[in-house]
Amino acid sequence: MESLWELEVNIILFFQSLGDWLTTPFRAISFLATEQFIIVITPLVYWCVDSLMGLRMAFMLVFSGEFNTYFKMLFHSPRPFWFDTEIRSLSQETSFGMPSGHSQNAASLWGMVAATAKKKWLTICILILIFLIGISRLYLAMHFTRDVLSGWLFGGLFVLLYLVLEKPVARWIAPKKLGVQIVIIFLVSILLIALGFASKQASAGWQMPTEWIETAALTGGATPDPFNLEGVFTLAGVAFGFMSGYAWLVKKYGQPKVEGSAMKRFLRFIVGIVGVFILYLGLKMIFPEEPLALGFALRYVRYTLIGFWVSALAPVLFIKLKLNK
């Protein structure tokens, strides 16, 4: 077992020995699988490219992201910069290491795009991107190879699961009244939060080795905070807001279609993303973060409103401004 850990460390040291010139490009590549980037690119696709594809991306963002958090809390595996002082931490992460969230996001979100778009050139480009994102996480010392491989595995499984369930679930929920749909979506979002608490509680008796915290400080990394549930509430709020907004929009206006000139699509994105930032920054300044329970509840509300804006209110505003066609 010790030799396996040494091999994992040596792989990371090999990548870092290639030179500091790779730090900026690998950080840029890694950014393409962050939740921050996905939260921006998903509205762009939903408003300006393909609304159904945007909906699928939102699903993947939420469910792959939530389960990645659950898995990490259950496996409580260290990050490389917690483990060996020879490794340099070239990014900042505080959660556990396995599975790699970036690798799982890349495989699930971009993998789903490739699987549903069904274009050979796009599939090849996406496979290369997924591979490079995994390599970037090794170079930046955010993950061991096992973390990256498990992230790819779980991400691929989420794509397969989505492809199997998409049509049956759509056929089941579509005929239901809007109020029933919204209640179901709300209960799913609460279940996601409950699973987060359950995953944390399952590790209640586990103690983080003090040497992990000490090594993280010596390697320049962020202080570990692996049981933080902020992300769970964030994605649960996005789920409730985006999905309930989409349900309302379909009932009131029909299935959304992406139409119009390139200029109108560009204006839609500018108007819509300004609304996202107003809600994000405005509510962040207004809503308190303490006490913790209130902070989590208001985080859920904030991201619910952002999700509802993206899927429903912004498209209605586009109609009013005659930007929809």
Looking up tokens 């509300």 gives 301
Q: Is the dihedral of CA 183, 186, 190, 191 positive or negative?
A: positive
Residue 147, token pair as written in the block: 């973390």
Distance CA 314, CA 35 (A): 21
Distance CA 68, CA 101 (A): 6
pLDDT at res. 31 = 86
DSSP conformation class of 21: G
Give CA 125 to chain center in angstroms: 20
pLDDT at res. 67 = 92
Alpha-carbon distances, residue 307 vs 54, 72, 237, 275 (angstroms):
12, 25, 7, 11
pLDDT at res. 2 = 52
pLDDT at res. 109 = 86
Q: What is the DSSP string of 141-199?
A: TS--HHHHHHHHHHHHHHHHHHHHHHHHHHHHHTTS-HHHHHHHHHHHHHHHHHHHHHH
Distance CA 49, CA 257 (A): 9
The residues, any chain, with a CB within 8 Å of residue 48's CB and separated by 6 or more, are: 258, 265, 266, 268, 269
CB 323 within 8 A of CB 264: yes
pLDDT at res. 4 = 72
Q: pTM higher than 0.85 for the full model?
A: yes
How confident is the prediction along the chain (325 residues), in pLDDT tens digits per residue?
A: 456 767 888 888 888 888 888 888 888 988 888 877 887 888 999 998 888 889 988 888 889 889 999 999 888 888 887 777 778 877 777 788 889 988 998 898 888 888 877 788 888 888 898 999 998 988 888 888 989 999 999 999 999 998 899 889 989 988 889 999 999 999 999 999 999 999 988 887 788 778 777 777 766 666 777 788 888 999 999 999 999 999 999 988 888 888 888 888 899 999 999 999 888 888 777 877 666 778 888 889 889 999 999 999 999 998 888 888 7
CA atoms within 13 A on the CB side of 183: 5
| Listed residue (37, 36, 58, 34) closest to 46, CA to CA | 58
Distance CA 116, CA 39 (A): 20
Cis ω for the linkage preceding 315 (within 30 of 0): no
